[in-house]
Amino acid sequence: MTLSLKIKELMNNMPDTLNTKKEIDDFYKEAMKKCLEKTKKNADNKPKKELNGYQKFMKENIKPLKESNPKLTGREVFSTIAIMWKKQNETNAAGAAGKVKKDLVPAEEEDTEVSVDNITAEVKEVKEVKEVKEVAEVKEVDAVKEVAEVKKVAAVKEVAEVKKVAEVKKNDKKVK
C-alpha cells in the first residue's frame, strides 16, 4: 500500500470528536508519523539492488582517477570515467566479436588497456575545443553588438535629420 493510500485511510478513520483546526492538524501529523515509520521499517527490510556494470566500474575507478588527477572537477572526473567505460566496452565488444582473430595476434601487440593519461588528454582537448568555440561565440556576439551600435547611431542621425526637416518646414510656414 502506498503512503498516500495509508494517509487517506487514516484520515477517513478520523474521529468525529475533533472540533478545531489544531486538533485536526495534530491528528494529521500523528497519522503522517505512523505512516512514515511503517514505510521506513518496510524499506529497511528490503534488500538493496545489486549495482550494474557501469555503477561498479564507476565505484572502482573514481577514487584512483581523483588521486592521480586532483585538479579535475567532478564533472571532468565523471566524463573521463564515462569515456573509459565506453572504450572498455568497445574493446570488450571487439574482443568478443573477433575472438578468433585475437588468438592470432601475439600478446605484445594487444592494446586493450585504457590509460587514464590518454583519457585525461582527450578531456583536455575537448575543453580546449570548447574554449575556442566560446571565444568564437563571444567574438560573434561582439560583432553583432557592433553592428547594432552602428545601426543605432545611423537611426539617431536619421531621426535628427527628420527633426531638422520638420523644423525647417515649420519655420517656412511661419514665414508665409
Q: E-strand spans in the chain? A: none
Is position 109 within any domain? Answer: yes
Is position 150 within any domain? Answer: no
C-alpha cell at 128: 580546449
Residue of 27, 35, 47, 45 whose CA lies nearest to 1: 35
Residue pLDDT, tens place only, 19-55: 888 888 888 888 888 877 776 666 556 677 888 989 9
Among 64-68, 112-116, 152-156, the minimum mean pLDDT is found in 112-116
State the average pLDDT over residues 143-151. 83
Same-domain pairing of 12 and 29: yes
pTM of the model: 0.36
Among 16-20, 40-44, 127-131, the minimum mean pLDDT is found in 40-44
- C-alpha to C-alpha distance for 28 and 35, rounded to whole angstroms: 11
Is position 28 within any domain? Answer: yes
Cα torsion 143, 144, 147, 149 to 10°: value is -100
Same-domain pairing of 63 and 103: yes
Same-domain pairing of 108 and 58: yes
Q: Does residue 163 have a pLDDT over 80? A: yes
Query: Do residues 123 and 83 make contact, with C-beta atoms less than 8 angstroms apart?
Result: yes
Same-domain pairing of 70 and 34: no
- C-alpha to C-alpha distance for 72 and 131, rounded to whole angstroms: 16
Q: What is the pLDDT of residue 100?
A: 43
Is position 78 within any domain? Answer: yes
Q: What is the pLDDT of residue 95?
A: 62
Same-domain pairing of 106 and 70: yes
In angstroms, the Cα distances linking 121 to 17, 76, 77 are 72, 11, 12
Same-domain pairing of 71 and 95: yes
Is position 142 within any domain? Answer: no
Residue of 139, 123, 136 whose CA lies nearest to 83: 123
Is position 147 within any domain? Answer: no
> Whole domain around residue 58: which residue ranges?
53-114
Q: Does residue 92 have a pLDDT over 80? A: no
Is position 25 within any domain? Answer: yes
Number of domains in the chain: 2
- C-alpha to C-alpha distance for 61 and 119, rounded to whole angstroms: 13
